[in-house]
Structure 1
Amino acid sequence: MTTSTPVLLIHGLWLHASSWADWADLFGAAGYDVSAPGWPGDPDTVAEARANPESIADHGIDDVVAHYAGIIAGLPASPILIGHSFGGMIAQRLLGQDLARAAVAIDAAQIKGVLPLPLSALRSTLPVFRNPANRHKAVSLTAEQFRFAFGNAIPPEESLELFEKWAIPAPGKPLFEAATANFDPHSPAAVNTGNELRGPLLLITGGKDHTVPEAVTRATLKQYRHSDAVTDILEFPDRAHSLTIDHGWRDVAQASLDWLKKQSL
């Protein structure tokens, strides 16, 4: 009996795991065994997450990595990881630890060693950083803040629709950890980029992304220069941080599928 290759979809900050529903259907139809488990403390629904933000609060990068490592340990085979934003960072950490056979990191949050921090990225995360106490809290975005951070390349009406459908509070802790990564020798944002034996990695960047600008993704690519393992990059010039959930999601998902096929995965 042949076991289907598992695919884990890992969401980032401010989006609920159920926002991966269309991706799960597409990858399932392609023959993969797909799941989209939430972060530790994530409630089952968007409504519950909004009503109980304290359940999400104070979970850091190491907590999330350990959470998904535990899920991976229970799978029948090594999975393919697809992560968006901070989920892309988590996917890279797990791949660097040889816990996955491949990873696709979409507009991934900056890992340790990445220096560019464009002004748009600072503005996108200002709702968290304006109050140091937010390190231990869950922080929500307003519709206007979501529009700048996620929906700046789509019509305002669509951005509002996505906000109302998928946006949830997010823990502030991972953002504080990433912001201080280059000053912390033991930063949880550190990835084993020199791993020669890891599986292939695809970095996807949206050319209009305010939250994780293209410069951050290209600087991430350079962090892998000391490894001969497959590390590819793909740019969607006219897309922003909502590229996994907006009307053009299928283009990104299909490109990910096509790349996996090229890797014989």
Structure 2
Amino acid sequence: MAEPGTPVVFIHGLWLHATSWNPWIDHFRAAGYAPVAPGWPHEPETVELARENAQAVADIGIDDATGHFASIIAGLERPPVIIGHSFGGLITEKLLGQGIGLAGVAIDPAQIKGVLPLPLAQLRAGLPALGNPANLHRAVSLSEKEFRFGFGNTLTDEESGDLFRRWTIPSPARPLFQAAAANFVLHSEAKVDTHREDRGPLLLISGTADHTVPDVVTRSTFKQYRDSAAVTELKQFEGRGHSLTIDSGWREVADAVLAWLREQGI
């Protein structure tokens, strides 16, 4: 087992605030870890302030965010477990590929360079940002209907609406453009070192009903690691959507992550 107080760094994805990890922080602290959930660069401290200052995070790219979290991790006393959702999952993979972190968990991770499937549901979920090229340099908000399709498609209207009102914030559109064009850009910021042998163990998690990062995308991501001898595993949650870290079933996912960490001796 890992030493008591092993750090855990939670990294959220687009359209959710860092405080959406609060239930996970309490759960992991009770399990003996030392969790933190920093925001993205320039992200205001509360959901309300983030909505009031919508363009504070405009034009932040994947490398900007990755460097930001790498700096935070460098200030910790010990290497942490890194747990990310959506684009936070992609950043988790990038950091682990750079030799940063004790282990990584990428939940519904955004598409990395080399992943080819692009399902229609994923295209529709990305349209609020990708539908207007001028959004590249802007922060974009989701409507409640857009959130329902991209995050809450497996939930009741009531639960999806509640999560929308509680956690959603404007987010930079640039990472979506970078991921969408990754396979056509030589030095894409969505590229991950999937061949590294000396990195910590990585768990990829997918929800089989996810519209924003469909299960086929996560399975394709898993295949990108086939040439690495480092531990890489995939766990699927049947019938779960992109909201699986924040909806009423979050604890099932969190407990699965804790069980996996125990299996790794972390």
Q: What one-letter code is carried by the residue in structure 2 that aligns with 1:20?
A: W
Correspondence 1:156-235 to 2 at 5 A: 156-235=157-236
Q: What one-letter code is carried by the residue in structure 1 that aligns with 2:165?
A: E
Q: What one-letter code is carried by the residue in structure 1 that aligns with 2:201?
A: P
Unaligned runs of at least 5 residues, structure 2: none
Structure 1 vs Structure 2 CA RMSD: 0.7
Q: What one-letter code is carried by the residue in structure 1 that aligns with 2:121?
A: S
- Looking at structure 1, the residues matched to 61 and 164 of structure 2 have their Cα atoms a distance apart, in angstroms, of 24
Instruction: Report whether the alignment pairs 1:59 with 2:28.
Output: no
Alignment deviations for residues 42-96 of structure 1 (CA, whole Å, 9 cap, x no partner): 0000000001011111000000000000001100000100000000000000001
Correspondence 1:17-36 to 2 at 5 A: 17-36=18-37
The secondary structure found in structure 1 opposite 2:66 is helix
Corresponding residue for 1:140?
Answer: 141
Instruction: Report whether the alignment pairs 1:13 with 2:6.
Output: no
- Looking at structure 2, the residues matched to 201 and 57 of structure 1 have their Cα atoms a distance apart, in angstroms, of 30
> Is the 8 Å Cα contact of residues 18 and 38 (structure 2) preserved in structure 1?
yes
Alignment deviations for residues 173-200 of structure 1 (CA, whole Å, 9 cap, x no partner): 0000001111111101000100011000
Alignment deviations for residues 203-223 of structure 1 (CA, whole Å, 9 cap, x no partner): 000000000000000000000
- Looking at structure 2, the residues matched to 130 and 107 of structure 1 have their Cα atoms a distance apart, in angstroms, of 22
Quote how far apart the aligned CAs of 1:3 are. Answer: 6.3
- Looking at structure 2, the residues matched to 161 and 192 of structure 1 have their Cα atoms a distance apart, in angstroms, of 38
Corresponding residue for 1:124?
Answer: 125
Q: TM-score, normalised by structure 2?
A: 0.98
- Looking at structure 2, the residues matched to 4 and 158 of structure 1 have their Cα atoms a distance apart, in angstroms, of 34
Q: What one-letter code is carried by the residue in structure 2 that aligns with 1:148?
A: F
Corresponding residue for 1:114?
Answer: 115
- Looking at structure 1, the residues matched to 263 and 156 of structure 2 have their Cα atoms a distance apart, in angstroms, of 34
> Is the 8 Å Cα contact of residues 4 and 33 (structure 2) preserved in structure 1?
no
Instruction: Report whether the alignment pairs 1:252 with 2:257.
Output: no
> Is the 8 Å Cα contact of residues 4 and 32 (structure 2) preserved in structure 1?
no
Corresponding residue for 2:81?
Answer: 80
Q: What one-letter code is carried by the residue in structure 1 that aligns with 2:219?
A: R
- Looking at structure 1, the residues matched to 131 and 149 of structure 2 have their Cα atoms a distance apart, in angstroms, of 16
- Looking at structure 2, the residues matched to 129 and 11 of structure 1 have their Cα atoms a distance apart, in angstroms, of 20
Corresponding residue for 2:103?
Answer: 102
Unaligned runs of at least 5 residues, structure 1: none
- Looking at structure 2, the residues matched to 176 and 129 of structure 1 have their Cα atoms a distance apart, in angstroms, of 7
Q: What one-letter code is carried by the residue in structure 1 that aligns with 2:95?
A: L
Quote how far apart the aligned CAs of 1:167 are. Answer: 0.4
- Looking at structure 1, the residues matched to 199 and 99 of structure 2 have their Cα atoms a distance apart, in angstroms, of 6
The secondary structure found in structure 1 opposite 2:122 is helix
- Looking at structure 2, the residues matched to 98 and 106 of structure 1 have their Cα atoms a distance apart, in angstroms, of 19
The secondary structure found in structure 1 opposite 2:235 is strand
Q: What one-letter code is carried by the residue in structure 2 that aligns with 1:203?
A: L
Alignment deviations for residues 137-158 of structure 1 (CA, whole Å, 9 cap, x no partner): 0000000000000000011100
Quote how far apart the aligned CAs of 1:130 are. Answer: 1.2
The secondary structure found in structure 2 opposite 1:50 is helix
- Looking at structure 1, the residues matched to 9 and 209 of structure 2 have their Cα atoms a distance apart, in angstroms, of 26
Runs of 4 or more above 4 Å deviation: none
- Looking at structure 1, the residues matched to 157 and 55 of structure 2 have their Cα atoms a distance apart, in angstroms, of 30
The secondary structure found in structure 1 opposite 2:257 is helix
The secondary structure found in structure 2 opposite 1:232 is strand
